[in-house]
């Protein structure tokens, strides 16, 4: 039982969605301190098993919760709600590591803009979530702080790179978490852990203060328990910022208005390339069953084709790793982060600090990217991939002229065993075959729980919409979620 008000147990409180917890706080069923303490207890009990938090900010959280309770202002739906931030989102005075040895002790002097927006809305920060190193990966296995575990089967990965965040939301270690998605890093772990993961349109949420992977791909978005919650969080973080020139002045609609329970008049496109070889049959069956549910809700389903899908993995990895190689140049052992103690010359400081501080996947990015960008290869690789990217964007535009959303699986397979793909980068890259095209085109997409494999592992459905059409995702996603029971299923921990 919770220690103060006493009528609501910890177990019930931490299961609540943002909107449910908000009702509880507003109606004084429990306080933000109660709720925060319930999460901190849960983290203490479970996180040694799941390894999802790099840093737990217990005192900071309780202090904020107390302030919120004292002010008693619950006009913001996020006020007093405990959450986490992926450990690439800078937080003033709180360690932000990118799950890398090179930033093991890095304490940023300022907050990322997205963190400021959430703190202003009353968010209570429980801590920083584990990720693949600098978000390079699909399993959290590249984290310097060890792999996070999938709550549905702790022998399996939670997906990545926002795997700490997804595992937390699925295991009730946070009400919601903020992740980043460059090639699938919010949607794929959401799919593998059974939660909602929203990849916003490129430019919808300001990136200031969030450590970059590939700047023309990176997006920031929520992992939540429900579609409604994703809409609530996006409402607080979306929109133009003076601090990020890639956020245009596109109006931010009232996202909650799009949460409807039927799909009458909605046109859903099914791109056949997302249901082909490489995607497990069980996954395809779950998504096809989901499409039937959507038809019953009134949707009109049409076939579409995106033939360039087969180029998305090589195109994405070439461009993303190229951008990453330049973004990672700032870690030089001097400005911030790990400095070698065995260098005698300046160049040795650079080389040794980077050799000691970066892990294998990040080094691979630097090598692939530097090679692809080098004089003489630029036209053959980078420029060619950039052209393919432009064509893929056009292909999506043509599809969205015919339908409101596209529906596909999120991941070609459910959660895989820890270690199964860790030594085979190409096999790991294939985990992203269904997510990267969305980032190449800069459109938005969301993964929502859609069922389970025969082995009891979650399977997510990906819904895609055109640029700045997040409302369409919320509409289709909410209607599907309300008509099914997947959200209610809980891992046995």
Of 29, 86, 352, 469, the catalytic one is 86
Taking CB positions, which residue lies at the least distance from ligand GLN? 185
Of 2, 148, 185, 258, the catalytic one is 185
- 53-56 and 124-129: which strand pairing? antiparallel
Residue number with CB closer to ligand GLN (184 or 359):
184
199 in Cβ contact with 438 (< 8 Å)? yes
**Of 91, 163, 77, 162, which is closest to residue 126 (Cα–Cα)?**
91
Residue 436 exposure: Cα atoms within 13 Å on the Cβ side: 24
Q: Applying CB under 6 A, which residues contact ligand GLN?
A: 135-138, 161, 180-185, 213, 320, 432
Tokens at 57, concatenated: 């900010």
Contacts of 376 (CB under 8 A, 6+ apart): none
220 in Cβ contact with 114 (< 8 Å)? yes
- Give the shortest CB-213-to-ligand GLN separation in angstroms: 5
Residue number with CB closer to ligand GLN (39 or 413):
413
149 is catalytic: no
Going edge to edge, which strands form the sheet with 53-56? Answer: 53-56, 124-129, 82-86, 176-181, 219-224, 196-199, 444-452, 458-465, 405-409, 267-271, 300-304
Tokens at 374, concatenated: 């080098």
Residue number with CB closer to ligand GLN (58 or 314):
314
40 vs 42: CA distance, rounded Å: 5
426 vs 278: CA distance, rounded Å: 13
176 in Cβ contact with 233 (< 8 Å)? yes
- Give the shortest CB-347-to-ligand GLN separation in angstroms: 29
- Give the shortest CB-24-to-ligand GLN separation in angstroms: 34
Residue number with CB closer to ligand GLN (181 or 228):
181
- Give the shortest CB-486-to-ligand GLN separation in angstroms: 23
Contacts of 136 (CB under 8 A, 6+ apart): 142, 161, 213, 324, 361, 362, 365
Residue number with CB closer to ligand GLN (14 or 438):
438
161 is catalytic: yes
- Give the shortest CB-221-to-ligand GLN separation in angstroms: 11
Of 161, 167, 191, 447, the catalytic one is 161
150 in Cβ contact with 459 (< 8 Å)? no
Residue number with CB closer to ligand GLN (252 or 373):
373
* Coil/strand/helix, residue 39: helix
- Give the shortest CB-217-to-ligand GLN separation in angstroms: 8
241 is catalytic: no
Active site residues: 86, 161, 185
């Amino acid at each position: 039982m919770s220690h103060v008000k006493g009528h609501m147990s910890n177990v019930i409180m931490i299961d609540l969605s943002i909107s449910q917890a908000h009702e509880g706080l507003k109606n004084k069923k429990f306080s933000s301190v109660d709720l925060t303490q319930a999460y901190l207890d849960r983290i203490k009990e479970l996180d040694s098993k799941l390894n999802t938090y790099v840093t737990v900010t217990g005192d900071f959280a309780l202090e904020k919760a107390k302030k919120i309770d004292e002010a008693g202002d619950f006009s913001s739906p996020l006020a007093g709600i405990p959450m986490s931030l992926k450990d690439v989102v800078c937080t003033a005075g709180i360690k932000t590591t990118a799950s890398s040895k090179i930033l093991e002790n890095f304490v940023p002097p300022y907050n990322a803009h997205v963190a400021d927006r959430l703190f202003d809305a009353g968010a209570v920060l429980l801590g920083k979530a584990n990720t693949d190193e600098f978000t390079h990966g699909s399993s959290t296995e590249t984290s310097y702080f060890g792999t996070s575990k999938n709550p549905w089967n702790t022998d399996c990965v939670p997906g990545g790179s926002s795997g700490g965040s997804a595992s937390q939301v699925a295991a009730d270690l946070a009400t919601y978490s903020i992740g980043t998605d460059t090639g699938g890093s919010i949607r794929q772990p959401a799919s593998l852990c059974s939660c909602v993961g929203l990849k916003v349109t490129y430019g919808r949420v300001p990136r200031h203060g969030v450590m970059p992977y590939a700047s023309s791909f990176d997006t920031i978005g929520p992992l939540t328990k429900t579609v409604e919650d994703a809409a609530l969080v996006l409402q607080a973080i979306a929109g133009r910022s003076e601090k990020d020139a890639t956020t245009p002045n596109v109006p931010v609609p009232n996202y909650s208005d799009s949460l409807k329970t039927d799909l009458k008049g909605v046109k859903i496109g099914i791109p056949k390339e997302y249901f082909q070889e490489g995607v497990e049959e069980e996954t395809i069956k779950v998504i096809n069953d989901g499409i039937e549910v959507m038809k019953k809700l009134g949707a009109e389903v049409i076939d579409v084709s995106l033939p360039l899908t087969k180029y998305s993995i090589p195109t994405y990895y070439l461009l993303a790793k190229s951008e990453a190689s330049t973004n990672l140049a700032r870690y030089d052992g001097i400005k911030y982060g790990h400095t070698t103690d065995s260098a005698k010359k300046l160049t040795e400081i650079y080389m040794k600090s980077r050799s000691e501080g970066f892990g294998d996947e990040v080094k691979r990015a630097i090598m692939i990217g530097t090679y692809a960008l080098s004089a003489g290869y630029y036209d053959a690789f980078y420029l060619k991939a950039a052209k393919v990217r432009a064509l893929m964007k056009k292909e999506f535009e043509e599809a969205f002229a015919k339908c409101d959303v596209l529906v596909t699986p999120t991941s070609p397979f459910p959660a895989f065993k820890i270690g199964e793909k860790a030594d085979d980068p190409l096999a790991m890259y294939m985990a992203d075959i269904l997510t990267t095209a969305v980032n190449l085109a800069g459109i938005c997409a969301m993964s929502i729980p859609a069922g389970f494999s025969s082995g009891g592992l979650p399977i997510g459905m990906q819904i895609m919409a055109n640029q700045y059409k997040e409302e369409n995702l919320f509409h289709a996603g909410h209607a599907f979620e309300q008509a099914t029971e997947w959200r209610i299923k809980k891992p046995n921990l």
